[in-house]
Structure 1
C-alpha cells in the first residue's frame, strides 16, 4: 500500500440524486479526508484479520441532502459492481466510506481508493453474505434512491 494516494487531487467519488443534477456532489480524496472522520475495526470480507479503517460515515456524506422518499443507496464500483444499502443501515450500524486501512491509503490494486466498511467487530451478526455484499470496494459513485 502506498502512503501517498495517487488520486489525492482527482475526483474519486460522485454522489447523485436521480433527476436533480444540481445536487450532484464530487469529492477528491483530500476533500473526503477534510470531512469529519470515523475509525472502526473490521475484517476484509474474505479474511479473518482485523484491520483499522479510517473514513467518512455514509450519513455524513448525505448531510444537507433531502432524503424524503429515499429508501436506499446504490453504491457503484469502478468495475461496475453495485450494491444496495438501505438507509436504515446508516443509523443502525454507521458504515463508513474508508480511504485508509491500517494507516495506509488504498490504491486501486488494494481495492481502493474507497471501500464501504461495516463495523463487523462491534456487530458480529453482520458477518453474513448479505453484509459482505454491501461491503463494496473501489467505490466511485453513490446514488440516493
Structure 2
C-alpha cells in the first residue's frame, strides 16, 4: 500500500509538471556529478549544464520503493524526477543517452518519461550513494510496475554511477 501511495503521489506531481524553474541556472559550487548536454536551452557551462549534489537536491525530491535485481529486499530511492530536470533545462528531442562513469550507456526514449516516474536517485535508503554503492547517481524506474516482458528493457536503462545525459 505504501509503494502504491508513493507512486500515485509521484505520478500526480509528474502530471502537474515542474513548478517552474525560470531563474538562470547557477554554476555548481561543489564537485560536478552530472553534466547534461545536447538539445537544451539552459546552460551554465559551454554547451552543457553542470550540476553538483546541492543543485540536484534543490529540485523536488520524490521517492520510489521497489525491489531491484542488483540489491537485496525492498529499497527506498529518493531523487529528482528526470522529466522535471529535463523540462527545467528546456530539453527537446526524441532520445536521451545516459552514460555511466565506466562508459556503460543506455538510450532512453523521451516519450516514455511522459507518464512514468523515472528518477535520478541521489539517495538509497536515506543515504547518499557512494561510487562503490552504484552512486552518486542512479537512474531508477518503478520496476514493480512492469510486466516480465517489459523488465529487461527498463533494467538496461537503469544506469548507475551516472555521469552524463545527452539529449538528441
| Distance in structure 2 (CA, Å) of the matches to 1:66 and 1:115 | 20
| Distance in structure 2 (CA, Å) of the matches to 1:125 and 1:46 | 18
Q: Greater RCO between the two (CA within 8 Å, min separation 6)?
A: 1
* Residue 133 of structure 1 pairs with residue 151 of structure 2: no
Query: Which has the larger share of strand?
Result: 1
Which residue is equivalent to 1:75? 98
Query: Which has the larger share of helix?
Result: 2
- Whether the 8 Å contact between 1:75 and 1:143 is mirrored in structure 2 is yes
User: 51, 57, 62: which one pairs with 1:33?
Assistant: 57
Length-normalised TM-score, structure 2: 0.73
- Whether the 8 Å contact between 1:89 and 1:95 is mirrored in structure 2 is no
Q: Judging changes above 3 Å, is the alpha-carbon distance between structure 1 residues 129 and 118 closer, same or farther for their aligned structure 2 residues?
A: same
Computed over aligned residues only, the root mean square deviation of the Cα atoms, in angstroms, reads 2.2
Which residue is equivalent to 1:63? 87
How many pairs align?
135
Alignment deviations for residues 102-142 of structure 1 (CA, whole Å, 9 cap, x no partner): 10110000010000000122x13276211110010000000
Q: Judging changes above 3 Å, is the alpha-carbon distance between structure 1 residues 66 and 113 closer, same or farther for their aligned structure 2 residues?
A: closer
Length-normalised TM-score, structure 1: 0.84
Unaligned stretches of 5+ in structure 2?
Answer: 1-28
Larger radius of gyration: 2
Give every structure 1 segment of 4 or more consecutive aligned residues whose post-TM-superposition deviation is greater than 3 Å: 18-23
